[in-house]
Chain A
Amino acid sequence: MILLLTGLAGATCPDTVHSPTQAWPDRSAEVDPSIVAALDQALFQERNEETREGIRTDGVAIFYRGELLYERYGADYTAQTPHLIWSASKSFTATLIGMAEYKGLLDIEDSVCEYVDFHESACGVTVRNLLEFSSGLAWRETYEGEPPTASSVLAMLYGDGRQDTASFAGSQGLEDVPGTTYQYSSGDTNMLSAIARKVLEPVAGERFPWTLLFEPLGMTSATWEKDAAGTYIGSSYLYLTPRDMGRFGQLMLNDGCWEQERLLPEGWVERVSTLNPASASGQSRERGPSENQGQQFWLNTSNPGYDEGPRFPDIPENAFAAMGHWKQRIWMLPDQEIVAVRTGDDRDGSYSDNDWVPLAMALAESLPKPPPPEPEPVEESDLTSPVEASP
């Protein structure tokens, strides 16, 4: 029976997954130089630190079938500099929740109060509602350009909420019935982080993001800051190099498998990269109609709630991404087997993913094709007469 179960578990991971734990194989010398030049031009511009206008890329790394095709850094960044990924951290927090599900420690249909002692007004919220930004909890996710003291997220990170981000988020009171209304909220994600900690710390220790995720994938650059209550700031404060961000993207392309080991439930990647009902409903507070969310991942898909086409017309419709403030990106292109990472410090609206992610696809297509398989060598004995071949 044990043998049978082991066999089944092993069978869920294909043996073709790419797992660059030690180092990314480098094929950047084999791609078309004209596409490299186009990427350089699209992403790296002269920087003016006074005006801070234009595209301000800090790093780019493009991977295809587990190999590096393009890598370049801007400003003072190098391949070794951990970059703040801001809200791209949210996709990592959701991944830890997925790992807890896979271990049987958590059911996303449960009330959040099953796991953490949140304010009683939050107990009608499920873990799924948090994953789908439909908790209904009162929240205003605003940054620069809006009144700072009206921002829920700034209050959580730097004001009243900073000591205990998750309980701050859970004490906002309901504005809508849970599950009905989409509202992007860093508060929802920090409640997820507190839940992940509650269920994973006992089995994996205080360093659970390392023991469960970073170390198995060979991600050695990670820093993940906590609040004073000891909860990882799951919404905002993970630091990684682009190569390590690429490892996370590769785990998604591998459907949660790494080196023949399954780390996430089968089908989980599809679930988190499918438009969630609140995001598709057209019922959205505050942030307008272009927010396509699965479960803490951004989608390029068209959204029936708004009758829109794909958000980025030249990027495949089933592509999905982790995205952060000032244009941090981890793009996953499942059909093209591409992970495209970008870090930056963009302060205006110049940057668009549509300007360079299609070039990553062209880059992969420009690789020299492997030679067609050689015909079976004809046996020598077939060409010689039986008499000569005899000893």
Chain B
Amino acid sequence: MIALLLALGCAAKHDPAAGGPPPETYENALLDLATGFAAKEGCSCIFVSGRDEDVCRSYLRVNPDVAKIKVDHQAKRVTSKALGMKKTSAVWVSKEEGCVLEI
């Protein structure tokens, strides 16, 4: 599993001028996507829709369920970690703009 993730991180760069179909895999590794999804959608579920943290944890469950969230209600920030290797956070900006991924 880990070897697979590392391999995916080394996919070839796509050259837009060359054309053709999309790359077989994008450069981002699975853990980026998993923690990005959990952080952003978790932040929005809690701070935009105003739902309970536990309800949102259940809502966020996807397969593979590797990303876990930590909620800072004071700073309105949700941080997601996966397999101790990857950390991504999203923060609530305003009523109109909702949440945005950081970093």
Contact = CB atoms under 8 A, between A and B. Distances in A.
Nearest to B39: A158
A81 B98 contact: no
A97 B49 CA distance: 27
Contacts of B27: 159-160
Mostly, the B contact residues are loop
A139 interface: yes
Given A81-B50, A138-B21, A157-B36, A149 B16 contact: no
Nearest to B45: A84
A49 B58 CA distance: 7
Interface in A218-232: 222-228
A171 B101 contact: no
A210 interface: yes
B17 to A, nearest CB: 5
B73 interface: no
Contacts of A237: 44, 98
B80 to A, nearest CB: 10
Instruction: Give the interface residue-count category, chain B.
Output: 35 or more
Contacts of B96: 207, 210, 222-224
Interface string A75-96: 1100001111000000000000
B33 A159 contact: yes
Given A173-B17, A207-B96, A147 B48 contact: no
B37 A158 contact: yes
B84 interface: no
B97 A173 contact: no
A117 to B, nearest CB: 14
A340 interface: no
Contacts of B95: 223
B18 interface: yes
B22 A83 contact: no
B101 to A, nearest CB: 5
Contacts of A121: 16-17, 19
Given A173-B14, A223-B48, A226-B97, A149 B33 contact: yes
Interface of B: 8, 11, 14-30, 32-34, 36-37, 40-41, 44, 48-52, 55, 58-59, 62-63, 95-101
7 contacts: A84-B44, A121-B17, A149-B8, A154-B37, A225-B100, A227-B100, A239-B44
Interface of A: 49, 75-76, 81-84, 119-122, 138-140, 144, 147-152, 154-155, 157-160, 162, 171-175, 207, 210, 222-228, 237, 239, 345
